[in-house]
Amino acid sequence: MATKTNKLIYDNYFKDNEHLSSLYNWLDDPAATNKLYIDTTEYLEANGDLKPNLTTLSVLKKNHNSEYMLEVYDTNNPLHFLPALTNFESFIKANLKADIQQTFIIYQYYDYLFNNPHMIYTFGKDNNPTKYYNIFTGNEVTPVDFICPYSSLDHKEHLYRASDKLNLELMFVCRNLMLALLFKHIYSAYLDYYRLCGVLSESGTCDVTSSIDTQIANIDDAYEKWTQIIKDIAHNIFEVSVTFNSNRLVVSSDAKSTKSLTVFDVLLPDKHIIFNETKGEFVTINHTLNRDVDADGDGYNITQNAISPLPNDGDNVIV
């Protein structure tokens, strides 16, 4: 069953494109179970003594080289927001384990595109992170494909078909949908521990202790870190469309739909990217540009050597 939030996301970002709508129609399927709900799916099976180490929580943290490493959860580390299911790996049912790992592969792909905006605007199916990682072990893996467990469609292929509609904001939404699905799996797997321990308690092969509560509390804390990161980024990214006209970048009339225009008050060489859509080339910002309003409207005056190469009048440009 699709919720109002699911439908809002689907309508705003995917509905109007046949390839994106096919990829994400699970968000708007009234007959299907909401994929983002924590449910009563039996994630674990007792194929041995279920006494995983619940005294610590492992997380996957990405370093400055975009490499993931398993670390012990630290409540004071804001980058510790992705729990890893190392405690339960050997007990998770094979089909669910495959779904979780495939979701993480697709998350890494979107994360790569989001952190490399030039790849979005010059999209190609060969663009890839140099490495992909396993969410359970932290080891490097090679993806077989990019088929989503929820639509049976290949994300890379469908993004390529919709390449003219791709932008940074869309990658932000797609990446975080994959992360939301991962959290759904993580919560569901830990909560299923209660069910299985209830079944096994009479034989003494499973002990229910406060450790599982501590783990879930830590996951709650990690989830809050993730949502805070989303809030921070959502107010400080995305794009604004402009048109070059007589040495001025004129902001499009619908630019306020990005809800983050204040980020574009000043264009900084080390913080902003300019892409000339008409020519299909990036434009270098050589020094700071200040936004103002003149007779031509909201925009930026381009003084000598402020940007290079200089667009032609009428070129459509994205900042």
Identify whether residues 274 and 208 lie together within a single domain. no
| Residue 287 and residue 215 in one domain | no
- The C-alpha angle with vertex 47 and arms to 43 and 48, in degrees rounded to 5, equals 120
Buried b (16+ CB within 10 A) or exposed e, 247-276: ebbbbbeebeebebeebbeebeeeebbbbb
308 and 175 co-located in one domain: no
How far the first Cα of the chain sits from its last, in Å, is 38
- Percent of the chain at pLDDT > 90 equals 8
Greatest mean pLDDT range, 75-79, 129-133, 237-241: 129-133
Which tens digit of pLDDT belongs to each residue from 278-317? 888 888 888 888 888 776 678 888 887 888 888 888 888 8
Per this entry, what is the length of the chain?
319
Shared domain check, 119 and 171: yes
Q: Are both 12 and 35 inside the same structural domain?
A: yes
**27 CB neighbour count, 10 Å cutoff:** 26
Calculate helix-pair angle for 94-115, 168-200, nearest 10 degrees: 160
* pTM confidence score: 0.73
Domain boundary pick from 186, 207, 234? 234
Give the range with max mean pLDDT: 42-56, 68-82, 252-266: 68-82
Lowest mean pLDDT among 37-41, 87-91, 209-213, 295-299: 209-213
DSSP assignment of 258-291 equals: GS-GGGGSEE-TTT--EEETTTTEEEEE-S-EEE
Residues 154 and 247 in one domain: no
Cis peptide before 83 (omega within 30 of 0): no
Residue 263 has pLDDT above 80, yes or no: no
Residue 252: band (very low, low, confident or very high) from pLDDT cuts 50, 70, 90: confident
Average pLDDT score over residue span 25-42 = 78
Is residue 227 domain-shared with residue 247, that is, in the same domain? no
With 80 as the cut, is the pLDDT of residue 11 above it? yes
Q: How does residue 43 score in pLDDT terms, banded at 50, 70 and 90?
A: confident
User: Do residues 123 and 153 share a domain?
Assistant: yes
Q: Tell me: the pLDDT tens digits for 52-82? A: 666 677 888 887 778 888 888 888 887 788 8
Q: What are phi and psi for residue 318, nearest 5 degrees? A: -115, 135
Domain count, the chain: 2
Return the higher-pLDDT residue of 240 and 255.
240
How far, rounded to the nearest angstrom, does the alpha carbon of residue 168 sit from its chain's CA centroid?
Answer: 11
Q: Give the domain range for residue 282.
A: 241-318
Look at residue 257 in the predicted model and tell me its pLDDT.
43
Nearest-angstrom CA–CA distance, 33 and 20? 20
CA 37 – CA 18 distance, rounded (Å): 26
Residue 24, Cβ density class (10 Å: 0-12 exposed, 13-18 middle, ≥19 buried): buried
pLDDT score of 106 more than 90: yes
85-94, 131-140, 195-204, range with the lowest pLDDT: 195-204
Q: Token digits for 16?
A: 């109007």
- Give whole-number Cα distances, 172 to 67, 120, 133, 150, 233, in Å: 20, 11, 20, 19, 9
pLDDT in tens, 162-211: 988 888 888 888 998 898 888 888 888 888 877 777 666 665 566 655 56
Which of 127-136, 151-160, 244-253, 262-271 is predicted least confidently?
Answer: 262-271
Q: Determine the Cα–Cα distance for residues 240 and 257; give it in Å rounded to an integer.
A: 9
pLDDT over 90 at 109, yes or no: yes
Regarding whether 121 and 205 lie in a shared domain, the answer is yes
pLDDT value for 258: 46
Do 170 and 153 share a domain, yes or no? yes
Q: Looking at the structure, do residues 192 and 264 belong to the same domain, yes or no? A: no
Going by their DSSP bridges, the two strands 248-251 and 266-267 should be labelled as unpaired
CA atoms within a 13 Å half-sphere pointing along the CA-CB vector of 90: 9
Judge whether 96 and 39 are in contact, CB under 8 Å.
no
307: enclosing H helix or E strand: strand 307-308
- Is the sign of the CA dihedral 199, 205, 210, 213 positive or negative? negative
- Report the DSSP pairing between strands 281-285 and 274-276: antiparallel
Question: What pLDDT sits at residue 133?
Answer: 92
User: Where is the domain boundary, 218, 234, 250?
Assistant: 234
Decide which of 234, 254, 276 is a domain's last residue: 234
Higher pLDDT pick, 145 / 194: 145
What are the angstrom distances between the C-alpha of 236 and each of 40, 78, 265, 268, 272?
37, 18, 12, 13, 11
The mean of the pLDDT values for the chain is: 80
Pair 190, 249 in one domain = no
Residue 235 pLDDT exceeds 60: no
Residue 33 confidence (pLDDT) above 80: no
17 by DSSP, 3-state: which? coil
Q: Residue 108: pLDDT band by 50, 70, 90 thresholds? A: very high
